[in-house]
């Protein structure tokens, strides 16, 4: 499926192109953010970025070796850098697992989780493993990570990336993430990087414009709530659950967090990272969300020149 939009066109033409491909999505985007900058950045080519794997090398040394391709730092991740290439096959450090090709906003959830050595961590939807390997490096390969994914077809790439990055503490499973709700209070931290409608990934692949359907968001929202509830059951008192998506759809973001806050004793924490953000929705299409939802991190593409992203940090008292 080939979908093309001219990112150099003026904003009115960009809007018309999106509307011609998927009118339903276009009308939804207008409700979420009608600004010209939003539409320009939604189709602007995505910057490439990498994360240095500190299980295999020191950040400063890798930066020195790759200074010819590094164009800047990712402000919210010490190991993250923007680069001027997407041809990672020719970079030995990539083949050796010293660096990992990872979108900059995708680095946020493990940073927010802030895992430590000897923890027991559950990554409930782990494939292809970018965030799992990042968590492992913060844990310094000490402790245990259960790296789960429901899609058996994605398990091989998950295992491959774990091995390439030198992760020794991961146990790979292929369960429906909701299964882990039965393991009450076993984990110190849980990541729910939930399956979503990929609205925030349009600039990475324009086919997401054509594929998006509002009806899919209803089912995804139900699944996301169930996964988050399972994760909350599985985490110990005092533990952290990080919820993240690469969509901008409130039904899959603020509404999911609102659900867990209304139906459990979960507490939500502020996310104090050095980045620009868009205010979370406290009301959308007649649905009112609890005030605490304002502590979520909502990132639109124009905020930091990244994908669209959403993160919430929850703690069990």
Is 260 in contact with 315 (CB distance < 8 Å)?
Answer: no
Sequence-distant (6+) residues with CB within 8 A of 109 are 131, 191, 193, 242, 244, 311
Query: CA–CA separation, 112 vs 296, rounded Å?
Result: 11
Strand partners, 247: none
Task: Report how far apart, in Å, the C-alpha atoms of 294 and of each of 111, 210, 255, 288, 313 are.
Answer: 20, 31, 12, 12, 12
> What secondary structure does DSSP assign to 177-202, as a single string?
GGGGGGSTT-EEEEEEE-----GGGT
Q: Which tokens go with 315? A: 């703690």
Task: Tell me if residue 100 falls in helix, strand or coil.
Answer: strand
Sequence-distant (6+) residues with CB within 8 A of 163 are none
Catalytic residue IDs? 246
Query: CA–CA separation, 5 vs 14, rounded Å?
Result: 7
């Amino acid at each position: 499926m080939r979908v093309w939009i001219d990112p150099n066109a003026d904003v009115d033409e960009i809007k018309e192109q999106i509307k011609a491909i998927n009118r339903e999505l276009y009308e939804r985007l207008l409700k979420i953010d009608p600004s010209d900058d939003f539409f320009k950045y939604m189709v602007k080519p995505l910057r490439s970025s990498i994360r240095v794997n500190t299980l295999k090398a020191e950040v400063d040394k890798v930066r020195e070796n790759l200074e010819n391709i590094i164009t800047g730092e990712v402000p919210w991740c010490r190991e993250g850098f923007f680069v001027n290439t997407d041809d990672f096959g020719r970079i030995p450090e990539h083949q050796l697992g010293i660096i990992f090709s990872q979108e900059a906003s995708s680095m946020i959830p493990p940073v927010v989780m802030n895992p430590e050595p000897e923890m027991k961590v559950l990554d409930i939807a782990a494939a292809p493993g970018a965030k799992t390997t990042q968590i492992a490096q913060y844990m310094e390969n000490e402790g245990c990570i259960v790296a789960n994914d429901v899609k058996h077809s994605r398990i091989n790439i998950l295992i491959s990336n774990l091995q390439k990055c030198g992760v020794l503490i991961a146990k790979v499973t292929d369960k429906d993430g909701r299964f882990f709700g039965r393991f009450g209070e076993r984990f110190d931290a849980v990541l729910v990087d939930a399956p979503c409608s990929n609205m925030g990934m349009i600039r990475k692949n324009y086919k997401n414009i054509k594929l998006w359907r509002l009806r899919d968001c209803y089912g995804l929202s139900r699944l996301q709530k169930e996964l988050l509830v399972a994760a909350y059951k599985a985490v110990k008192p005092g533990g952290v659950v990080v919820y993240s998506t690469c969509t901008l759809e409130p039904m899959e973001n603020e509404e999911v967090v609102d659900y867990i806050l209304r139906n459990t004793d979960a507490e939500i924490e502020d996310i104090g990272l050095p980045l620009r953000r868009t205010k979370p929705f406290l009301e959308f299409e007649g649905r009112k969300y609890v005030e605490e939802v304002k502590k979520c991190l909502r990132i639109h593409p124009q905020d930091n020149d990244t994908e669209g992203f959403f993160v919430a940090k929850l703690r069990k008292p």
